[in-house]
Amino acid sequence: MQTIRSSKPLEAANTLDSLETLNTTLQAYLSADQSNLVKRAYYFAEQAHHGQFRRSGEPYVTHPLAVACILADMHMDHQSLMAAMLHDVIEDTGIDKTAIDGQFGHTVADLVDGVSKLTQIEFSSHAEKQAENFQKMALAMAKDIRVILVKLADRLHNMRTLGVLQPEKRRRIAKETLEMYAPIALRLGMNNVRIEFENLGFGAMHPMRAERISTALRNARGNRKELVEKIGQQIETCLLQEGHVAEVVGREKHLYSIYQKMKSKRKSFSEIMDIYAFRIIVDSVDSCYRVLGCIHSLYKPIPGEFKDYIAIPKANGYQSLHTVMMGMHGVPIEIQIRTREMEEMANNGIAAHWLYKSSDGPSINGSHTRARQWVQGLLEMQQRAGNSMEFIESVKIDLFPDEVYVFTPKGNILELPRGATAVDFAYSVHTDVGNSCVACRINRRLAPLSELLQSGQTVEILTAPGARPNPSWFNYAVTAKARTNIRHFLKHQRREDSVALGRRLLDKALSALDSGLEQLGKAPIQAYLDQTDYDNLDLLLEDIALGNRVALITAQQMLGDDGETAVGNKGAFKAHPVAIRGTEGFMVSYAKCCYPIPGDAVAGYISSERGMVVHREGCNNLAELRENTDRLVPLRWDEQVEGEFSVALRIELENRRGIIAVLATRINSMDVNIEKISSEDKDYQYSYVHLEMAVKNRVHLASIMKRIRSLKQVHRVNRIRH
């Protein structure tokens, strides 16, 4: 007890010191009224958190105070600092948003609510909880970008005080920080915050590795000191001789960056540290290019290593000239050249928008605009995502861009992640362009949609009315926007197909009972929907198509008949088979065990969540499924069947050199698409060739088989079931 009493005055003194430090910082850039509002928020938070302590034993209010100090160092506005003071009040005390609104206004209340976690809802897993919380924060960010800045400062202080937690919880928080918050800081251009996140996260995730690299770095720093100073002096002398006023700073890689490079490039620590890096800070953009020329006259530039991020800024607004040169003794030297505003922008990113708000500099406004565009993209992804887990995966994809810069036909520049294709480009132009994309031209030549884009290329997208996304695009689309929109379209299309199929199945079941959906009328249907807790008819029809409800039993229940009538009418239902047109979409598939094609006697089986699977009547698998008669659907082919259908053949032929090429040529001459071909030896004289190809119907298949049999080397052709 004595220890606790004696420590409290010390804790209070530390808190007072922090408050005084904050007050000094605020006086440098805020008005007296704004500073007083921030202090009022502090005293409100102190009272709200009274009696609460952190795991370290400090009063809880030290945490929001530290978060506010982090934001004050970035020169954030007074409303952000007030939100930082109050950010845990809703979550951890009995005070609600309305009370904060009454005390500090709508804006501050919305910021606090945006950062607060969802505490009233039970989640099935921690991952789902985190995903839902991030989704909530993304919605708040769309209204006010400062929400994420308060959250980043909150997470930064939590990472700084991570040592008091249990190892398992430390690793979980560190992993989440490295996967989500460090990339977000990078996306917003906040390099200082990102580096601290990565170093703290790395230390918590892999303490032994971090310690070993840190020790090696300290040793290397001493060994390299003389050479670094020599190179720095040469650069400074060269710049002075040419009349340039510039600051030359040696640049050192941070721990996590070194670890990532060692891991990804499979290089040793000494190989990574062979590169010497310097930053040159000048007073104007014009000076950046003049200094570049001066540096290139001092050392020989390495071809292909120059990047102009001033003319073409990175997606997060970062601007700088990058070049790599070969120095004395063959040592590679990396140089970054930028203005002071660009340096501030590189370190604080979007937070610099508030610092330079009055100057209205183009780079600062550009960063703020890009951040808002990214948040709007998040909002669009959130609206199209099926659930929070799907949304969080899309965000993670979007947070790791290594940019490629490509041009539209009109000369506009688009930034895409490395590995992007024309599909990603199409969706970045506009969702409708992506959805109706059919082909592309890269540098005026026709190219496949799957071709990887390179910086400097001009990409033109060819569209067609009625075109729609292809499921195969998922194999090479890399941007979150493209993948989210493709997934959304296919889900929507699947739902439309489900509803259409469910309507046909239910209508057929009702017609077997001398009724129909139109004859039944709205009132009985609505009464049935109310009774079965369906919000609308489409949801019921979708469930029927997915196999979650049986059409015949649903029809019986709608008509009010009992179970015996349902059984008695199954024969009647079988007398009214459903017509298959080949255009039903995702909800009708054709069994790969028997390959049904138009002209075959067929039956359908309603598979849960897969829709209807069409089998040939004599299929062995269908015989096993006949026990579950409720899910069997009598089918027939429509008179106007569209499309092509897979069929499998086994061809027995003589072993002759080039015979498979001859066979393939013969089939292709009939305008038939071969989907799969393989062969196996029967004996020394004969072989079997297994073919899968697309045909229109049995008549088409018969003509193909006749043409194959006309080859003298062919002995036998059979249609097979797998």
Report the CATH number that the domain containing residue 692 is assigned in CATH: 3.30.70.260
Q: H or E element: which one contains 320?
A: none
Whether residue 650 sits in one domain with residue 540: no
Q: Same domain for 109 and 11?
A: yes
What pLDDT does 371 receive? 61
Residues 505 and 581 in one domain: yes
Q: What is the mean pLDDT of residues 608-623?
A: 80
Tell which residue, 147, 145, 117, has the closest CA to residue 133: 117
Same structural domain, 15 and 114: yes
More confident residue, 633 or 611: 633
- Say if residues 284 and 316 touch (Cβ distance below 8 Å): no
Exactly one of 91, 101, 496, 638 is catalytic; which is it?
91
Give pLDDT, residue 9. 42
Amino acid identity of 165?
A: L
On whether both 605 and 659 belong to a single domain, the answer is no
Is the same domain home to 537 and 600?
A: yes
Specify the pLDDT at position 422.
92
Task: Name the 3-class secondary structure at 177.
Answer: helix
Q: Cα separation of 594 and 620, whole Å?
A: 9
13 vs 719, higher pLDDT: 719
pLDDT at 288 over 90: yes
Q: Is residue 92 part of a domain?
A: yes
Tell me, rounded to whole angstroms, the distance of Cα 407 from its chain centroid.
Answer: 23
Q: Which amino acid is at 355?
A: L
* Residue 181's pLDDT band (cuts 50, 70, 90): confident
Last residue of a domain, one of 593, 618, 637: 637
Q: Pick the last residue of a domain from 108, 126, 160.
A: 160
Whether residue 406 lies inside any domain: the answer is no
Could you give the maximum distance between any two Cα atoms of the chain, in Å? 104
**686: part of which helix (H) or strand (E)?**
strand 686-695
**More confident call, 388 vs 89:** 89
Structural domain containing residue 550? 492-637
Q: Residue 110 and residue 721: Cα distance in Å, rounded?
A: 64
Write out 499-548 in H/E/C secondary structure: HHHHHHHHHHHHHCCCCCHHHHCHHHHHHHHHHCCCCCHHHHHHHHHHCC
Total number of domains in the chain: 3
Q: What are phi and psi of 137, to 5 degrees?
A: -65, -35
Selected catalytic residue, list 46, 73, 88, 92: 92
Query: Does residue 519 contact residue 563 with C-beta atoms inside 8 Å?
Result: no
Say if 268 falls within a structural domain: no
CB-CB contact of 189 with 367 (8 Å): yes
Q: Confirm whether 497 is a catalytic residue.
A: no
Lowest pLDDT segment from 231-240, 329-338, 349-358, 678-687: 349-358
Q: What is the DSSP letter of 331?
A: -
Q: Do 7 and 119 lie in a common domain?
A: yes
Task: Return the minimum-mean-pLDDT range out of 47-51, 55-59, 288-292, 624-628.
Answer: 624-628
In this structure, are 561 and 600 located in the same domain?
yes
- Give φ, ψ of 578 to 5 degrees: -80, 135
Q: How confident is residue 384, by pLDDT bands cut at 50, 70 and 90?
A: low
CATH number of residue 121's parent domain? 1.10.3210.10
* Integer-rounded Cα radius of gyration of the chain: 34
Structure confidence at residue 572 (pLDDT): 39
> Does the pLDDT value for residue 81 go beyond 90?
yes
Q: Is 200 inside a domain boundary?
A: no
Mean of pLDDT values over 584-605: 84
Which residues lie closer than 8 Å to 539 by C-beta, 6 or more apart?
Answer: none
CB 200 within 8 A of CB 177: yes
**Confidence at 575, pLDDT banded by 50, 70, 90:** very low
* pTM, full prediction: 0.59
Is there a domain that residue 696 lies in? Answer: yes
- Bridge-based pairing of strands 445-447 and 714-719 is unpaired
Query: What does the pLDDT look like over 154-175, one tens digit per residue?
Result: 999 999 998 888 888 899 899 8
Chain-centroid distance of CA 480 in Å reads 4
pLDDT of residue 12 exceeding 60, the answer is no
Clarify whether residues 545 and 661 are in a common domain: no
Helix (H) or strand (E) holding 404: strand 403-407
Place of tokens 């049904």: 596
Q: Are residues 621 and 653 in the same domain?
A: no
Q: How confident is the model at residue 607 (pLDDT cuts 50, 70, 90)?
A: confident
Q: What is the pLDDT of residues 420-442, one digit of tens each?
A: 899 999 998 988 899 889 899 99
- Determine, yes or no, domain membership for 710: yes
91 in active site: yes
Residue 516 lies in a domain: yes
Distance, CA of 52 to CA of 318 (rounded, Å): 41
| Mean pLDDT value across the chain | 80
Of the residues 621, 637, 653, the one at which a domain ends: 637
The predicted structure's pLDDT at residue 676 = 85
| Cβ-Cβ contacts under 8 Å for 417 (sequence gap 6 or more) | 400, 401, 402, 403, 404, 424, 478, 479
In a domain, 482, yes or no: no
Identify whether residues 602 and 657 lie together within a single domain. no
Our measurement of the distance from residue 579's CA atom to the centroid of its chain's CA atoms, rounded to an integer in Å, reads: 40
Give yes or no: residues 15 and 142 share one domain.
yes
